[in-house]
Amino acid sequence: MQLSITREDLLKPLQQIIGAVERRQTMPALSNLLIRGNDQAISITATDLEVELVASLEVGLEDQGTTTIPARKLLDICRSLPDQAKIAINSSNEKVKVSSGRSRFSLVTLPAEDFPTIDDLELDQNIVISEGRFKSLIDKTAFAMAQQDVRYYLNGLLLEVDTEQIRTVATDGHRLALSQLDHKSDIEGSRQIILPRKGVQELQRLLSDEDNEITVALGKNHIRVNLTNLQFTSKLIDGRFPEYQRVLPEESDNRAKIDKAQLKQALTRASILSNEKYKGIRLILDDNTLVIQAHNPEHEEAEDEIEIEYSGDRLEVGFNVVYLLDVLNVLDSDAVEVIIQDANSSALIISPDTKASRYVVMPMRL
């Protein structure tokens, strides 16, 4: 295979797909990229056997063919070349030669047939959605995914689709994040799939806030998202996600409306003197006032007070301050509503303007 391409045209797709290349590989081929060339276009594939990314681009091909190239070495070469540099790639036998100007590199290749690809997928449901709206659904919930939990189905993100809505849900057992949007689908009943953590993180990196439409294809064991000149495919987690609806607290008269910026600043200040391991803080709600307290094993204490809209019962509840700040970081509104039934109940945090996103944070003993 022989091709000629500019540095910028090659660098962008390489940066898009490099996330699927793991540094520690059980198979030598997985540290390489698969490059296929035909009809004035090439596709570049990277995979770690769980996530596969395929970038497509038009390029001047002098000779068609298929080869593999060490992924990170090719990316580093592209980065090191000057802007608008012309790059020639020529593969023959067991070597790939990369040249640009007076720079020449000879890389060892591996047989293309040893490169694992995800080909025949049983994708039976297509959803056409705005790229920005799909990204927003993921961004508003992904932070609540578990990390390396033995309940493997928590180490991912639930995507649920029915005839009227699409929603994402994530929980680590201590908190829950739910976001949904109205979207008509021709699906019968409802469909649930669990995306693995690695796939969710790659989607967050690849998706943009643009309004262009993308296609999300669902299968029994895989999900595929087709972006502009880029195809994302991921295996799914085989498991049953918890019945999240049962975790959502019921509405209560103990509702506090709070300025988001003020609350975030006060929580950040109080957290400085919270226990470094457990990050616990105490919230005291009473008569249009919120007092935030923190202390640590060194007997240091912090207290912050802000004005809020609250006329419910006097409540004292402990929470992990990191969990509260994570929610405030993804809410778009200027104010938040915190709903707590009693001192032993979870907090339900929503935007006063819309209930499209709901967040549950369990209390902790202090």
Class at the top of the CATH hierarchy for domain 255-361: alpha beta
Local confidence band at 34 (pLDDT 50, 70, 90 cut-offs): very high
Of 144, 133, 194, 138, nearest in space to 359 by CA: 144
Q: Order of strands, edge to edge, in the sheet holding 335-340?
A: 190-196, 156-162, 165-171, 175-182, 357-361, 347-350, 335-340, 255-259
DSSP tag of 151: S
Amino acid 93: pLDDT: 81
Mean pLDDT of 304-308: 98
Amino acid 186: pLDDT: 83
The boundaries of every CATH 3.10.150.10 domain in the chain are 2-114, 123-246, 255-361
Mean pLDDT of 333-341: 96
Cα separation, 24 vs 7, in Å, equals 27
Who's near 238: CB < 8 A, 6+ residues apart? 221
Mean pLDDT computed over every residue of the chain: 94
* Residue 184, CA distances (Å) to 166, 179, 224 in order: 8, 16, 19
Q: Residue 177: is its pLDDT beyond 90?
A: yes
Mean pLDDT of 248-267: 95
Amino acid 310: pLDDT: 97
Amino acid 258: pLDDT: 98
Local confidence band at 136 (pLDDT 50, 70, 90 cut-offs): very high
C-alpha torsion 256→257→263→264, nearest 10:
110
Mean pLDDT of 84-96: 93
Fold type of domain 123-246: DNA Polymerase III; Chain A, domain 2 (3.10.150)
Amino acid 23: pLDDT: 80
Query: Residue 347 in contact with residue 339, Cβ under 8 Å?
Result: yes
- By percentage, how much of the chain surpasses pLDDT 90? 87
Amino acid 179: pLDDT: 98
Mean pLDDT of 31-37: 95
Class at the top of the CATH hierarchy for domain 2-114: alpha beta
Q: Residue 202: is its pLDDT beyond 90?
A: yes
Helix (H) or strand (E) holding 75: helix 71-80
Local confidence band at 68 (pLDDT 50, 70, 90 cut-offs): very high
Q: Residue 345: is its pLDDT beyond 90?
A: yes
Local confidence band at 201 (pLDDT 50, 70, 90 cut-offs): very high
Local confidence band at 63 (pLDDT 50, 70, 90 cut-offs): confident
Local confidence band at 117 (pLDDT 50, 70, 90 cut-offs): confident
Mean pLDDT of 65-86: 96
Of 72-76, 182-186, 267-271, 325-329, give the lowest mean pLDDT range: 182-186
Q: Residue 255: is its pLDDT beyond 90?
A: yes
The string of DSSP codes covering 211-237 is --EEEEEEESSEEEEEETTEEEEEE--
Altogether, the residues listed in the chain come to a count of 366
Of 36-40, 132-136, 239-243, 357-361, give the lowest mean pLDDT range: 36-40
Local confidence band at 185 (pLDDT 50, 70, 90 cut-offs): confident
Amino acid 242: pLDDT: 94
Helix (H) or strand (E) holding 60: strand 60-63
